[in-house]
C-alpha cells in the first residue's frame, strides 16, 4: 500500500529529552513542503492539546480496534499502558496533499518504519551529548518525577543500541547548530527526486 502511494517520509526520533520535538516544530515552520503526521495515542491530553492537532486521543478499546483493522503503520507501548501509533490515514492525507510526512516518533517505532519502508525516506536520530546532560535536561524540564526520570534514562540507554539503524545520528549540543544541520539534510531530501517502485 505504502509503496503504491509513493510519497516521502522524514523520521525524527531519539530519546525523550533529546530535543527532537523542538527540532520537528522548527522544520515545520521552515519548510512548507512538510506536514506533521498526527499520531494516535491512549495517553490523556495535556493542557492545551487538541484532538486531531497534537494527537488523535483514543481509549484503549479504540486503539486495539485500530490495530485489528490494520489502521496503524506501526505502534508501540512507549510507556506502560500508554500506546502510540502512526496512522496510515495520515500518510494518505499528507501524500494526497503532495506533501512530505514528518514523523516525530519513539526509537522502536522509528526502527519499524525504517526497516519496512525502503525508499523515499530519511531517518534522523537526535541524541543528547551524554546521559548526564539528558538527565539535567529532564530535571530542568520540570515535567518529570525522580521515578520517571530514571525510567526515561534507562530507556534512553537501551535506545542508544538502535542508533546504527538510522541514516543520521546528530548529537544535540547547541540547538541552533543542530537545527541548521538537520535543516540542510531535510532540504537535500526535499529536492531529491522520488525513487520509483520496481
Ligand atoms: P509525548 O507523550 O511526550 O507526546 O510522547 C512520548 C513519546 O512518544 C515521544 O518519544 C514521541 O516521539 C513518541 N510518539 C509520538 N507519536 C508516536 C507514534 O505514532 N509512534 C511511536 N512509536 N511513538 C510515538
How many whole angstroms from 190 Cα to the centroid of ligand 1?
Answer: 24
pLDDT exceeds 60 at position 180: yes
Reported as a pLDDT band with limits 50, 70 and 90, residue 6 is confident
User: Has residue 3 got a pLDDT over 60?
Assistant: no
**Residues 139-177: pLDDT tens digits?**
998 888 899 899 889 999 999 999 999 999 999 999 999
- In terms of Cβ atoms closer than 10 Å to its own Cβ (0-12, 13-18, 19+), residue 93 is middle
Q: Is the CB of 109 under 6 A from ligand 1?
A: yes
- DSSP single-letter state for residue 197: P
Domain spans in the chain, listed from the N-terminal domain onward: 9-191
Task: Name 105's Cβ contacts closer than 8 Å, sequence gap at least 6.
Answer: 11, 12, 13, 39, 74, 84, 86, 113
pLDDT at 197: 67
Q: Quick: pLDDT tens for 67-123.
A: 999 999 999 999 889 999 999 999 999 999 999 999 999 999 999 999 999 899 999
CATH topology of domain 9-191: Rossmann fold (3.40.50)
Angstrom distances, CA of residue 22 to CA of 29, 112, 119, 163, 194: 11, 23, 26, 20, 27
Cβ of 101: how many Cβ atoms within 10 Å?
A: 23
pTM reported for the whole predicted model: 0.95
pLDDT for 81? 93
Among 106, 108, 148, name the best residue to mutate to test ligand 1's pocket (greatest count of ligand atoms within 8 A of Cβ): 106
Amino acid at each position: 500500500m505504502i509503496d503504491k502511494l509513493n510519497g516521502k517520509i522524514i523520521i525524527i526520533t531519539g530519546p525523550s529529552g533529546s530535543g527532537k520535538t523542538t527540532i520537528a516544530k522548527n522544520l515545520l515552520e521552515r519548510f512548507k513542503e512538510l506536514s506533521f503526521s498526527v499520531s494516535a495515542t491512549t495517553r490523556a491530553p495535556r493542557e492545551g492539546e487538541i484532538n486531531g492537532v497534537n494527537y488523535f486521543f483514543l481509549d484503549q478499546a479504540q486503539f486495539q480496534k485500530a490495530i485489528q483493522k490494520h489502521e496503524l503503520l506501526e505502534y508501540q507501548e512507549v510507556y506502560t499502558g500508554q500506546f502510540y501509533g502512526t496512522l496510515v490515514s495520515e500518510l494518505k492525507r499528507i501524500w494526497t496533499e503532495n506533501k512530505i510526512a514528518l514523523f516525530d516518533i519513539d526509537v522502536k517505532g522509528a526502527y519499524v518504519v525504517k526497516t519496512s519502508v525502503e525508499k523515499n525516506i530519511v531517518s534522523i536520530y537526535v541524541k543528547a551529548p551524554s546521559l548526564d546532560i539528558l538527565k539535567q535536561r529532564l530535571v530542568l524540564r520540570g515535567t518529570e518525577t525522580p521515578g520517571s526520570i530514571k525510567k526515561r534514562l534507562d530507556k534512553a540507554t537501551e535506545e542508544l543500541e538502535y542508533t546504527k539503524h538510522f541514516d543520521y545520528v546528530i548529537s544535540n549540543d547547541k540547538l541552533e547548530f543542530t537545527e541548521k544541520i538537520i535543516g540542510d539534510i531535510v532540504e537535500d531530501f526535499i529536492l531529491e527526486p522520488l525513487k520509483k517502485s520496481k
